[in-house]
Structure formats: C-alpha cells, structure tokens
Amino acid sequence: MEHQSTLERWLRGIALSLVVLFFMFPIFWILLMSLQTNETILRSPPSMVFTPTLNNYAAIIAGRLDSNVATMSIEFMRNLMNSFILSAASVAVSLLLGVPAAYAFARHKFRGSEDIAFTLLSFRFAPPLLVLLPLTLYFQELGLANTYFGLIWVYQLICLPLILWIVRGYFEDISPDIEHAYRIAGHGWFATFRKIALPLAGPGIAAAGLLAFIFAWNNFVFALVLASADKQPVTVGALAFVTASGIQYGQIAAAIVLSITPTLALALWAQRYLVEGLSLGAVKG
Amino acid sequence: MTAHADIPAVRPRARISSRYLPYILSLPALLVCIGILVPFVTAIYYSLQRYRMSQPWNRGMNWGENYLNFLSDSSFWHTLQVSLVYAFLTVGIELLLGLGIALLLQKRSKVNNFVSIMLLMPLMTAPALAALMFKLMTNSNFGILSYFMQVLGFPDFRWGASPSTALFTVVLVDVWVYTPFIMILLLAGLRSLPTQPFEAAALDGVPRLEQFWRITLPMLTPYVLTAALFRLLDSIQQFDIIYAMTQGGPGNTLMVFQVEAYLNFFQSTNVGRSTALLLILWAITYILSNIFVKHWLRLRERARGEA
Amino acid sequence: MSRITLENLTKRFKETTVLDGINLEVPEGTTLVLFGSSGAGKTVLLRCIAGAIEPDNGRILIGGSDFTDVPPEERGIGMAFQNFALFPHMSAFDNIATPLTARTLEKSAIQKAVDGVSRLLKIEHVLSHKPKALSNGQKQRTALARALVSEPKVLLLDDPLRNVDAKLRFEMRLELPRLLADRGATVIYVTQDYKEAMALGDRIAVLEAGRITQIGTPEDIYRRPANIDIAKLFGDPTINLLDVIPQRDASGVFATLSDQRIPLDDGYTEFVGEDCVLGLRPEALSFAESSKAVPVTVEAETPFNEKTVTLVTTLRKREILLSRPAGTPAPSSGSARMAIDPRGAILFDRASGNRIDPKSTASAEEAAA
C-alpha cells in the first residue's frame, strides 16, 4: 500500500468525501433548519445563507409555540425529561440486576447457566411487539399502564441482555487466579467481588451502561405501545409533534436536534468501547 | 492458625453459600425476565383464539384457524414479501457499502479514525428520529432532497408519499442509520486479520485485486456473516423507521410484520391475527438467531483469545 | 500443627480425571516438591489445597483438622502463583498487604510487616509501583512477598520461578531454601525443573497423569527412580537407555555392550534371559584406557560451562551420551574406550518400565546408600 499512485489517492479522497457527505449531511441540514425561520426554510431554491436564530429552541424550551394561527403549548421538554428518567433509571436497574448475574455466569459454570444466559440473549432478538401487545392488557389489569415503573421494567428487555453479555465478557477476561489470590489472602467472596472484580471490570461496566443508555434513549416501540403523552420519551413525542398541525418546521428540526444530541455526545465520548459493545463482544474494538 | 478452632462451625455454611451463590446472584435478573416470558406465553394462547377486542362476546379458541387463514390471505403474503424484500435489500446494500467503506478506512490514520468516529453518529441516532429527519428533508414543499430530485429532472419524485418510491425512501433511511454498524464490525475484522499472508502475497507480486478476492474476503467471511445475520435479524423486524415514515403506507405498500401486527392490534383490534402474525415472525427470527448465535460465539471466542 | 495430609483426593473435569486418588503427607516444617510434566495435575492439586478448586472426593487435612470444605479465606494459607496473579489496580505495597488487611491489623503493623518482607526480597524501592511498572523478577518477588507476609504456616508455591529469566531463577534457587527454612513453614513447591526440585525439596513427589508415581528424597529419586519415565525426567543430559538381556556365567550376572561384559549385581539372577533396559547416567560414564572398558567411537562433542557432553556410538551403532567435568582430557574423535561406574547403572523391566531391585544386599545397594 506504500506506493499509491496519485490517481488512487485522488479516488480515495473523493470516495471518502462522498461517504462523509452522505452520512453527515442529514444531521448538518437538520441543524441548519433548526436555526432558521419558516420563511427562510420555505425559500426555493434552498440556500445556506441566512441569519441564524435561536427562536426555535427558545420556543421549545419555553413550551410555547407561536404559529401564525394561534399560540399552542407543547410539552416537548417533558418528553426530554421522560427520556432521561426512563433511560437512566432503566440502566441503573439493569446494572443492579445484570452485573451480579453477569458475574455469576462468568465465574460459576453452574447447571443451566448457559441456557439461562442464552434465553436472556434471545430477548434481544425476538420481535418486541410479541411481548408488548399482551403486556398492554396485563398492564391495564395490574395498574402498571402508563407508569414509569412499568416502563422501566419493560425497558429491561433492551438493557439487561446488553449489560449481561458485555459485562460477562469483561468478567471472563479477569484471570480467576487473581480472585483466588485475593480469597486465599483471607477475603470473603463479596469483598473479592467488590475490591477485585468490580474495579477490574469497571471500564466495561461503564461502557455497557452507556451503550444501554443510548439504546434505551433511542427506543421507540416500547413507549409507543405502553406510554401516554405524559410519560412519552422524545422518540414518540417527536412523532406526535410532526403530525400536530400548525407547527413550524424549524421547531421540529430544533426538537430533533435536542433529541439526538445526548446520545451523539455520549457516543463520541465512549466511542472506544462502542465497537465491542455493539457486537456483544464478538469483535474487539 | 486460630481458624482451626472454629472449623466445625464453619463447614456447613461454607458449602451452602458457595453452591447456591451463583443462583442467588442471578435470581433477580431471572425474576424480571420471567415477567417478560409470561406475555410471550400469553401471545401463543391469544394466537390460537378468535379474539377481537371490539367483539368480546365472540371470543373463543379457534386453534390453528388464524394460521390456516394466512394461507389464503393475500395481505399476509404481501406482508411476508415486503418484510423479506426490505430485509434483504437493506442488508445487501449495507453490506456492500459497509465493506467498501471499511476497506477505504482500513489503514490507521488520523483522517480515517476521524471519519470512522463521525460515522458513529447516524448509528447513534434513534431510527424513529432518523426517519423524521428524512421526512423533513423529503418534504415536497421545502425538502432539500426533493429539491435535488427536481434539479436532477424528477420533479414528481414523491418519496414516502408514493407507492412506487416509498420502499426506496425507507431503505435509504435504514441504509443511512445501519451501514455504519456493518462498517464498524468489518473494519474491526479487517484490522484484526494477520498480516503475514498479505506480506507473502505482496512479495510474490500478487495483484491487489486478486489479494482481495483470494485472501481478504475469505478471511473476512466470518465477520461478514455475523454482521449480515445480526442485521437481518433486526431488519426483518423493522418497525421504527417504517412506522415513523409512513405507518406502513401509502396504502399497504410497506406493511411489514410488526407494523401490520401493530395496526391489527390497535386499529382493527384483531388480537388473534396480530399475535399469530408476530409468532410467525418470531419463528423466522428464532431460526435466524440460532444460526447467528453459532457464528457469533465462534467470533467471540476468537476475539477473547486475541485479547 | 501444620502437617498437610491428603487422603484419596480426586478431581474430575467433565470426562477427564485430573487427580486420581492422591494420598500424600507433608510433615510440619518440611518442603515437598511436587514435580511432573505440564498437565500432570500439579496446579490443580495445589488449588485444591488452597481451596480455589473443590475436590470431588477425598479429604484435605492441615494439622490434623479437616479443611476440605473450609472456604479459601479461612484456611490461613500463603500461596504464590505461577502467573503471579498480582492485582493490577493496586500498588506493590497494597498487593503485599492484602493478607494483612483481611485481618484488620493496624496501619503501622501492616507497614512494618510489608517493609520487613520487602527488604528480605529486595523490592523496597518499587513498593509504590503498580504491577504494570514492575519487571518480571520484581513481580515474582512481589507475589512471593504477598505469600510470605502474614507468616503462614502453610505455603503453596506454584512454579514461582517459571516466568522469570534464567539468571534470576539461578539466584532464587540458591536463596529460596534458606528463606523457606527460616520461616519453618510447611511448603509445597510445584516445579517442572528437576534441578529446582533437587535443590529445594526435602522430599520430591512425582506426579504423572493425576497419580503420584514416586515419593522420596532427591537423592532417592535420582539414584533409584521408580520407573523409566521418572529416570528420564531427572538428569541432564537424560539417562542413556539400552535394551539388554542379562546373562550369567561362572563369574556372575552381566550384560553385554560392544561385545564387552558389563558386570551387574548378582541379585539380578532372577532376570537372566529377560528383556530389560539398562539405564546409564551420562556422568557415570568416563573415558578409560582399561582393556575391560567398552570400545566406542566418538561422534561429537558439546562443551557446556561446567561439563562437556560427548556423543559416542557402540559397535552396533547405539548412541550414548557421556558427560564429564569440563577440562578433563579426552579423545575428541575416533576410537576410544568407555568405563562404567556401576553406581550410575540402573536396571528396568522392559515390559512394565519399573526399576528392578537386586535381591541380595550386595555391592549395588551399598553404592546407592
């Protein structure tokens, strides 16, 4: 590869530019839209020359949308809050449940452990509606419909398999001798778990948690089926937003930007671990 | 050696705790999941019933009738066809694109690393929101993509609103979101390949194109297979993008399994048909996931071995 | 109080039996070397004693009390691992201190104990380093310090010199016996290196395929190996093995090599005419002028530091290695004659591979003593 011809370098450069253009353009364009008024958005031909305005963001954050017809209130900030609550709480519960289980699966090859681990993994691949639709009926009866509790429970379907399988891999990477050494030195299994296994798997647990947070945040169908307006996260909220009449396009764009920024920021921050997490450890990042 | 004195007291406790410990540790996670298994069993039960929420008096077991009806139900066959076409089209395009980009970025350099990090962004965008973004960009009044089509000489290109272009539109969104996934997996695979065969081939003067076909591709096959199966599993169940873009429309153009089941359940309240549809989808994904897990485990072993 | 007794210890992993009914006794304050090739079960046996692995069957007694079901943290054992098993997120000091923190000692007492043991092992200057920043030799000493710091009465050392360089291994082989003797602990030391085994062990137990095939003093095992396999494991260069059939005439029992008689103990009378293997230690062979010596052809010579090894062939082209102190004169090529010290000659039964003891208490026995 050392001796590339000039032509080849050019072709590579062009191909790379096209790739970046294709994958970055939508985000870039929506960001531009979010900074424009309806008038500049509706110009034809579209132009990148305009006076940027933060009015769209101000309106969304204030929760009041002024259209040319009337003033209406939209609680998009509430959706954003819901997304935070649902994702953070789900990941916290998943870590609490999943990390000890992952440790058990990694360290103790007990009877049926592989089967159980695979059953949990299979949740990741089953059609979510298959579980969600009957669950709506149960939730009505149990009074769990449209509660954070019920939603967080169902969100375990997304977070738990992810955390279990990624963290299990990290625990397996710790040499059992290191734990044996600590126990032989006179410490009980729980002290060993806390002082040796947890710190050593720490980066992996953090990465799994972040990834689970991103997936929970990006989820759409769970909340669509199980949550009403006041518990809906941004994914569902934004859709309702689009179909609401009289909304300005710049404000939709601003809402989308606000909705995707947290996950993109987290992803950039944790990108080192992302590869391994995405493939459940099948490919090392 | 003060421990000697209390050995008899220690003995029974020690054995019990070490034997049951793993079960105790994994029990909470299992309990939560059992709560999820119950609706699965319920779904099987519903799928064997004549069950419309709007007609509670008419409810009763009809055993396999929901499934038998599918045989003569043209809309079922349409759903199966659209789902398969969607899945294979998206995964096929994403594989080709992903492999191409991975090859472009194979060499470690600042620019390449930066680009591969940039490409994470679409993947981290919620698919439903990605669909909304494209919806804005394909709006017939102001959408930038509609404008491009106009410039290119297709003034009537109506994207998601027309039956002839709706599939293209959702596939485009899927490709935008998920190509980076395949690219990242294949890039990691490419970079983990041993270098000796390539050095040997270079010494022997094997042309680069032949190196690709004879060495790179065969060695990359396990990664390609794993990535393709993983994506196929997701893609055949696609809901977010299609529902957010067209809700299965226009008409029934994009009625894939999960969208059809969702609308059956909530709009026509036909619980029996809806759950039967989902169970057929589940059967397909179950077979696929078993094949996938086999490949994936092998790769995982290898990745752990290298670490 | 710290005699180690193993009774019928058995461990299976799935289909394979790793430990097959081990019975072993290590008297208090002595060092037993567990010797065997890799995969023989040495490490598993050590882990069973430490409590890291639960045996399927049998009992582990320490000082006469049953420790089989006691969790590892309550056994009061010190152990050093072959791969060191240092805690990567802790400094060398904290690594060494872990057996003490478990006992909630005062800070100053911990400091004193760690300082003491690290001075002994010459690692005082690296105590603040993380394991990553330590050389292999320092890691090995840190692991050893961690095993020693709480002055345990039972010490398990799993091939601690395996992963260190040759120079350090040599130094430690000299240092360790004194270190262990000073502590008065009961030690089980695992190694694959016969020189280490001979240098460190009060007794050596040879483990092959999950069974103990011989147990005895280093001298015993070298002079009187239980079978051909053990004879081959001890000694460098390895013992020469020649197929022979003992014969007897008026002057006694003998074997033939290069048409020359090699006298054997008369106690071997029973094995006259049987298929046997004659083991000749290379250092029991020497060049000689005597007409009774065996005629050989010198093929090649390899000088080492302290000895020279010569490859010779007999009239029937059988290859034999001969080892002599460096600097002693010898023919470098062509024909020569080779004398055999009967004390380095061991007879084995060819069918079973077991050593054959002469029946009477004649010369061979005296030589071995």
Q: How far is CA A161 from the centre of its chain?
A: 14
Number of domains in chain B: 2
Specify whether B35 is located in the same domain as B161. Answer: no
Task: Read off the amino acid at residue A208.
Answer: A
pLDDT at B10 over 70: no
Cα distances from B209 to residues A6, A214, A278, B203, in angstroms, run 18, 39, 30, 15
Is the distance from CB of C253 to CB of C264 less than 8 angstroms? yes
A residues 174-233 lying closer than 8 A (beta carbon) to B: 189, 214, 217-221, 224-225
Is C1 in contact with B14 (Cβ distance < 8 A)? no
Q: Which of B32, B117, B287 to mutate to test the interface with A (most CBs of A within 10 A)?
A: B32
How far away is chain B from the Cα of A82, in angstroms, using its nearest Cα? 15
Are C74 and B3 inside 8 Å of each other by CB? yes
H-helix or E-strand spanning residue C17: strand C16-26
Mean pLDDT, chain B, whole residue set: 85
Categorize the per-residue pLDDT at B16 as very low, low, confident or very high, splitting at 50, 70 and 90. Answer: low
Q: Considering only CB atoms, which chain A residues are within 8 Å of B303?
A: 276, 281-284
Record: contact B14-C70, CB cut-off 8 A:
yes
pLDDT > 90 in chain A, percent: 36
ipTM value, please give it.
0.89
What is the pLDDT at residue B8? 39
The count of CB pairs under 8 A between chains A and C is 67
Q: How far is CA C193 from CA C137, C159, C206, C324, in A?
A: 18, 9, 12, 22
Cβ contacts from B onto C, under 8 A: 31
CB–CB contacts below 8 A, A to B: 278
Sign of the CA dihedral with B2 first, then B7, B10, and B11 last: positive
Residue to test with chain A: of C81, C139, C158, most A Cβ within 10 A: C81
* Nearest chain C residue (CA) to B18: C71
- The answer to whether residues C284 and C322 touch, using CB atoms and an 8 Å cutoff, is no
Question: Residues 59..78 of A with a Cβ closer than 8 Å to B: which?
Answer: none
Distance CA A50, CA A195 (A): 57
Residue of A nearest to C151 (CA): A185
Interface mutation target, options C74, C75, C103, chain B, most CBs of B under 10 Å:
C74
Q: Is pLDDT of B3 > 60?
A: no
Tokens describing residue C263: 């006298």
Cβ–Cβ under 8 Å, residues C310 and C322: yes
- Our CA-based measurement puts residue A84 at a distance from the nearest CA of chain B, in whole angstroms, of 14
SS3 C60: strand
Q: What are the chain C neighbours of B15 within 8 Å (beta carbons)?
A: 69
Name the residue of chain C whose CA is nearest to B16's CA: C69
Judged on CB neighbours under 10 Å (0-12, 13-18, 19+), C202 is middle
Question: Does B220 reside within a domain?
Answer: yes
CATH architecture of A78-278: Orthogonal Bundle (1.10)
pLDDT of residue B12: 42
Q: What is the CATH number of domain C4-232?
A: 3.40.50.300
* DSSP string for residues in B18-59: HHHHHHHHHHHHHHHHHHHHHHHHHHHHHHTEE-BTT-GGG-
C75 neighbourhood in chain A, CB within 8 Å: 184
What confidence score (pLDDT) does residue B131 get? 94
* Confidence band, pLDDT 50/70/90 cuts, at residue B6: very low
- CA pair distance B120, B128, nearest whole angstrom: 17
Taking the CA of residue B16 and the nearest CA in chain C, the distance in Å comes to 10
Q: What is the 3-state secondary structure (H, E, C) of chain A?
A: CCCCCHHHHHHHHHHHHHHHHHHHHHHHHHHHHHCCCHHHHCCCCCCCCCCCCCHHHHHHHHCEEECCCCEEECCHHHHHHHHHHHHHHHHHHHHHHHHHHHHHHHHCCCCCHHHHHHHHHHHHHCCHHHHHHHHHHHHHHHCCCCCHHHHHHHHHHHHHHHHHHHHHHHHHHCCHHHHHHHHHCCCCHHHHHHHHHHHHHHHHHHHHHHHHHHHHHHCCHHHHHHCCHHHCCHHHHHHHHHHCCCCCHHHHHHHHHHHHHHHHHHHHHCHHHHHHHHCCCCCCC
Contact partners for chain B, using 3 or more CB pairs closer than 8 A, are A, C
Q: Which of B64, A42, A186, B111 is nearest to C73 (CA)?
A: A186
Q: Of B115, B144, B184, which has the smallest distance from its Cβ to A278's Cβ?
A: B184
Mark the ranges of chain A whose per-residue pLDDT is less than 50.
1-2
From the list A185, A191, A200, the residue facing C146 with the nearest CB is: A185
Enumerate the domain spans of chain A: 6-73, 78-278
For the residues of C70-108, what is the DSSP string, one character each? S-GGGS-EEEE-TT----TTS-HHHHHHHHHHTTT--HH
Q: What is the CATH number of the domain that holds B223?
A: 1.10.3720.10
Distance CA C110, CA C96 (A): 10
Q: Would you place residue B15 in the very low, low, confident or very high pLDDT band (cuts 50, 70, 90)?
A: low
Averaged pLDDT for residues B159-175: 91
B292–chain C nearest CA distance, Å = 27
How close A252 comes to chain B (CA, Å)? 9
Print pLDDT tens along chain C (369 aa).
Answer: 688 999 998 988 888 888 888 899 999 888 999 998 888 888 899 999 998 888 888 999 898 888 888 888 888 899 999 888 999 999 999 999 999 988 877 888 899 999 988 888 888 899 999 999 998 889 988 999 999 898 888 999 988 888 777 887 888 888 888 888 788 889 999 998 888 888 888 999 999 888 898 999 998 899 889 989 899 888 888 899 988 888 888 888 888 887 788 888 878 888 888 888 999 998 888 888 877 788 888 888 888 878 888 888 888 888 889 888 877 777 777 788 888 887 778 889 888 888 888 775 444 444 444
Q: Which residues of A touch C72 (CB under 8 A)?
A: 180, 183-184
> pTM for the complete prediction?
0.84
The residues in C 210-229 lying below 8 A from B, measured between CB atoms, are none
Q: Hey, what amino acid is at A206?
A: A
Among A133, A211, A232, which would you mutate to test the B interface (most chain B Cβ atoms within 10 Å of its Cβ)?
Answer: A133
The nearest alpha carbon in chain A to C147 belongs to: A185
Q: Which two tokens stand for residue B157?
A: 């290109």
CA-based end-to-end distance of chain C: 32
Contact residues, chain B, for C69 at CB < 8 Å: 11-12, 14-15
Distance from CA of A41 to the nearest CA of B (A): 7
CA distance B249 to chain A (A): 15
Range of the domain at B7: 2-47
User: Whole-angstrom Cα distance, residue A41 to residue A247?
Assistant: 13
Q: How far, in whole angstroms, is CA B47 from its chain's centroid? A: 24
Contact between chains at B10 and C71 (C-beta distance less than 8 A): yes
Q: Is the pLDDT of residue B7 over 50?
A: no
The reply to whether B233 and B97 lie within a common domain is: yes
What pLDDT is attached to residue A282?
67
CB spacing of B111 vs A268 below 8 angstroms: no
pLDDT digits (tens, 9 = 90+) for A209-230: 998 999 999 999 999 998 887 8
Break chain C into its structural domains and give their ranges. 4-232, 233-368
Residues of B with CB under 8 A from a CB of C: 1, 3-4, 7, 10-12, 14-15, 17-18
Amino acid at A95: L
Residue A155 to chain C, least CA–CA distance (Å):
34
Residues B179 and B34 grouped into a single domain? no
Chain A closest-CA separation from residue B164 CA (Å): 23
Q: What DSSP state is assigned to residue B160?
A: G
- For residue A218, the model assigns a pLDDT of 94
Task: Give the number of C-alpha atoms closer than 13 A to the C-alpha of residue A158, restricted to the C-beta side.
Answer: 30
Collapsed DSSP state (helix, strand, coil) of residue B125: coil
Q: Which amino acid is it at C172?
A: M
HSE, CB side, 13 Å, CA atoms: give it for residue C79. Answer: 30
Residue B139, pLDDT score:
85
How far apart CA A33 and CA A10 sit, in angstroms, is 32
- For residue C61, give the chain B residue with the closest CA: B4
* Interchain CB contact of B237 with A (< 8 Å): yes
Instruction: Measure in Å the smallest separation between the Cα of C357 and chain A Cα atoms.
Output: 44
Query: C-alpha distances in angstroms, C225 versus B277, B289, C230?
Result: 75, 58, 6
The nearest alpha carbon in chain B to C52 belongs to B18
> Does residue B88 sit in the same domain as residue B210?
yes
Half-sphere exposure of A130 (CA within 13 A, CB side): 28
Which residues in chain B have their CB less than 8 angstroms from residue A224's CB? 243
Check for a shared fold between C4-232 and C233-368: no
Residue B13: predicted pLDDT = 44
- Rounded to whole angstroms, the Cα distance separating B57 from B53 reads 9
Q: What's the order of all strands across the beta sheet hosting C4-13?
A: C16-26, C4-13, C57-62, C65-66
CATH code of the region C233-368:
2.40.50.140
- Nearest residue in chain A measured CA to CA from B257: A127
Which candidate from A178, A188, A199 shows the least CB-CB separation from C73? A188
Any B CB within 8 A of A81 CB: no
The burial class, CB within 10 Å (0-12 / 13-18 / 19+), for C229 is middle
Facing residue for C103 by CB, picked from A176, A181, A186: A186
pLDDT value at position A29? 93
Which string of DSSP letters, residue by residue, matches C291-355? TTSEEEEEEEEEE-SSEEEEEEE-TT--EEEEEEETT-----SEEEEEEE-GGGEEEEETTT-BB
Residue C361: how many CB atoms within 10 A of its CB? 10
CB-CB neighbours of A149 under 10 Å: 11
C332/chain A closest Cα distance in angstroms: 52
Cβ contact, residue pair C69, B1, below 8 Å: no
Half-sphere exposure of B269 (CA within 13 A, CB side): 9
